[in-house]
Amino acid sequence: MLHMFRLWRPLISGFLYSKPRSAESKISYWCTPIDIDFNAHLNAAVYSIFCDAGRRHLIKNMGMVRVMLKHKWAPVVVDTRFRFYKEIPLWRVFTVTTRIIQSYEKSFIIESRFESKGVLHCVAVELGFFLKKGGRVPRTQLLKFLPDFLIKQLPAPRPEDVKTLDPYLQEQWNFLKKLKETDQSFRTGSSSSYLSIDSFSTSDPNLKKIS
């Protein structure tokens, strides 16, 4: 029930208050007893839920909830990579900061950072897009619904945006770029196929498509 509240609260509040605010989401949570594993740390599986909540909160902050519902756009994530640095203990208050670190014609790379008391616990890098009937929503169409001050906060394609990531996440970034360059459905935004990444290695040539 608590997880459902975490996920739906941003969308409900975004529908009621649709004014654009920021191209970044920053929201705090408690690590509660329903979130922990046997070691009394935040369960690895729960990180995905907080990433999902962070993305929804980002959509709310950008004033896109009503636009998304009106045009029947569905936010979709096709790949997520986690890098864990330090555990989050029970009852710890932590902050999830979500932002777009790279954008392409019909997709985005999103970063979620889990931090508390100046400590970095985890970084997640995700590949996502908005899906509509007939394919993916292009960046140009999304920008039409955003005010100028918000557009200026969004990144243009700049590789230097990820130079602060550690080597592990830099490898995932390079892998996503390679996927974009080699997979035809990624470039064209075909709605007839989704992407499944089979390996964490950038040298793996088997880029599988599921129809």
Q: Phi and psi dihedrals of 31, rounded to 5?
A: -85, 105
Q: Tell me: the pLDDT tens digits for 96-142?
A: 999 998 888 888 889 999 999 999 999 999 989 999 998 999 988 99
Q: Tell me: the pLDDT tens digits for 87-100?
A: 999 999 999 999 99
Q: Tell me: the pLDDT tens digits for 136-156?
A: 999 889 989 998 888 888 876
User: Per-residue pLDDT for 62 more than 80?
Assistant: yes
pLDDT band at 201 (very low <50, low <70, confident <90, very high): very low
Mean pLDDT of 9-34: 77
User: Per-residue pLDDT for 165 more than 80?
Assistant: no
Structure tokens at 75: 């936010």
Chain-centroid distance of CA 41 in Å reads 23
Alpha helices by DSSP H, 24-166: 46-61, 65-71, 139-143, 148-151
> Phi/psi zone of residue 110: left (φ > 0), alpha (ψ -120 to 50 degrees), beta?
beta
